[in-house]
């Protein structure tokens, strides 16, 4: 059953067609002056293992397993996923500039699958964001970070300072919405990664917590 699910998932990714999406507009927020030059996503900055229950929904395909993220050094993380039965599905090392595939199950060994995982986790694990503009609304301090044709809107909760959302846009089109639930800056208890132009959703739920 797991093998058929993985094959179906891979075929669905191969058949994905780009869909149009609306330009992203920041609403209900006002520009503010800020002394912040750089903001950070610290949720994967600890040297301890981050272990999550993982659920991936790609169109009508559902795959679940255990996902482990480990910081190898200041620039590189290792990401490994196993099935619910303990079989290794994929194992790779990733930074903002490099990608090394250590293992992939043959059913998942499709270029579009690898690219999808590489690009999503590269955005998720990006740590530093130079601040271009600052905004705020009733609930959040919002920082805009621009890089070439990409832009990131980072929403920090005003009450506790924790990162709540990252909206990733490209060519002014909303691509991915990362939503976090957390009690401390270095560990997200849960994560929801939602694509805006594909029917792709990844959810992570805490299994072990770093100290």
Q: Where are the domains of the chain?
A: 2-208
The chain-wide mean pLDDT, for the chain, equals 88
Q: Is the pLDDT of residue 208 over 70?
A: no
The answer to whether the beta carbons of residues 173 and 181 sit under 8 Å apart is no
**What span, in angstroms and rounded, lies between the C-alpha atoms of 155 and 144?**
9
**What span, in angstroms and rounded, lies between the C-alpha atoms of 163 and 39?**
10
Q: What is the pTM of this model?
A: 0.86
pLDDT in tens, 83-138: 988 899 999 999 999 999 999 999 888 888 888 899 999 999 999 999 999 999 99
Cα 95–Cα 162–Cα 136 angle in degrees, nearest 5? 105
The answer to whether the beta carbons of residues 44 and 69 sit under 8 Å apart is yes
Domain 2-208 - what CATH class?
mainly beta
The answer to whether the beta carbons of residues 144 and 34 sit under 8 Å apart is no
Question: Phi and psi dihedrals of 186, rounded to 5?
Answer: -100, 0
CB atoms within 10 A of CB 148: 7
Q: Of 5-9, 21-25, 195-199, which range is least confident? A: 5-9
Provide CB contacts within 8 A for 15, sequence distance 6+: none
CB environment 107-131: b (16+ within 10 A), e (fewer): bbebeebbebbeebbbbbbbbebeb
pLDDT in tens, 10-51: 555 544 444 445 678 888 899 999 889 999 999 999 999 999
pLDDT at 3: 58
Q: Helix %, strand %, coil % for the chain, to 5?
A: 15, 50, 35
Cα 58–Cα 62–Cα 67 angle in degrees, nearest 5? 95
In this prediction, residue 148 has a pLDDT band, given cuts at 50, 70 and 90, of confident
In this prediction, residue 82 has a pLDDT band, given cuts at 50, 70 and 90, of very high
**Cα torsion angle, 190, 116, 67, 150, sign:** negative
């Amino acid at each position: 059953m797991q093998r058929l699910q993985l094959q179906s998932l891979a075929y669905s990714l191969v058949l994905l067609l780009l869909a149009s999406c609306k330009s992203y507009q920041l609403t209900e927020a006002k520009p503010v002056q800020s002394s912040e030059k750089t903001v950070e996503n610290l949720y994967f900055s600890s040297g301890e293992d981050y272990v999550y229950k993982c659920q991936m929904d790609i169109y009508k395909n559902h795959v679940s397993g255990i996902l482990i993220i480990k910081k190898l050094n200041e620039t590189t993380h290792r990401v490994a996923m196993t099935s619910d039965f303990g079989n290794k599905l994929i194992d790779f090392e990733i930074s903002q500039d490099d990608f090394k595939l250590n293992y992939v199950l043959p059913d998942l060994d499709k270029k579009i699958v690898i690219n999808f995982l590489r690009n999503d986790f590269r955005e998720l694990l990006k740590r530093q964001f130079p601040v271009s503009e600052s905004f705020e609304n009733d609930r959040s301090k919002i920082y805009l970070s621009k890089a070439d044709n990409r832009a990131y809107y980072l929403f920090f909760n005003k009450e506790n300072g924790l990162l709540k959302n990252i909206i990733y846009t490209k060519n002014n089109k909303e691509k991915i919405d990362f939503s976090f639930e957390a009690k401390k800056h270095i560990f997200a208890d849960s994560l929801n990664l939602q694509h805006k132009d594909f029917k792709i959703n990844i959810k992570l739920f805490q299994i072990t917590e770093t100290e």
